[in-house]
């Protein structure tokens, strides 16, 4: 029996529409597995969130170019070592406002609207890394997925 709140529960991936080229999508699938995507097209009124497992080094370096948003963003990279959840099991370089940061530990980044961020380079993956990004907007409208 269907319940009123079922429309708010997402358990299967609904691929985002028109955010990346077929070439980028094919390249992305060789190093990452998107788990779930949420935006106002999936659930009316929702803000946008992407979740994925990174399991390899992409063909493209950097994988995401520098860009800005007109909204705030939260980005996370979580290691999968149950004995040390802060060990990222990877080396990821991210640039924020022109400064390069090497991530080797579980990390969350807050990117205020208008702040230039990326490029992002995945240098090494030893164990799968859980990645998420959340934007305080009904849809993702920036140029990271090219």
Better-scored residue on pLDDT, 105 or 137: 105
pLDDT, mean of residues 47-51: 95
Is residue 67 a contact partner of residue 116, using CB atoms and an 8 Å limit?
yes
Q: Where are the domains of the chain?
A: 14-135
Bigger pLDDT: 15 or 34?
34
Question: Percentage of the chain with pLDDT > 90?
Answer: 76
What share of residues in the chain are helix, strand, coil (percent, to 5)?
A: 10, 40, 50
- Note the pLDDT of residue 24: 83
| pLDDT value of residue 118 | 94
| CATH topology classification for 14-135 | Jelly Rolls (2.60.120)
């Amino acid at each position: 029996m269907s319940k009123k709140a079922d429309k708010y529960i997402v358990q299967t991936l609904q691929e985002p529409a028109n955010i990346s080229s077929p070439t980028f999508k094919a390249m992305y699938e060789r190093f990452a597995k998107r788990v779930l995507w949420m935006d106002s097209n999936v659930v009316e009124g929702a803000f946008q969130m992407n979740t994925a497992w990174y399991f390899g080094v992409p063909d493209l370096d950097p994988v995401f170019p520098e860009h800005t948003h007109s909204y705030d963003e939260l980005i996370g990279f979580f290691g999968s070592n149950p004995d040390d959840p802060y060990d990222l099991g990877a080396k990821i370089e991210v640039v924020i406002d022109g400064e390069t940061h090497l991530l080797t530990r579980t990390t969350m980044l807050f990117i205020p609207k208008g702040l230039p961020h990326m490029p992002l380079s995945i240098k090494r993956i030893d164990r799968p890394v859980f990645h998420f990004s959340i934007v305080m907007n009904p849809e993702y409208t920036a140029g990271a997925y090219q």
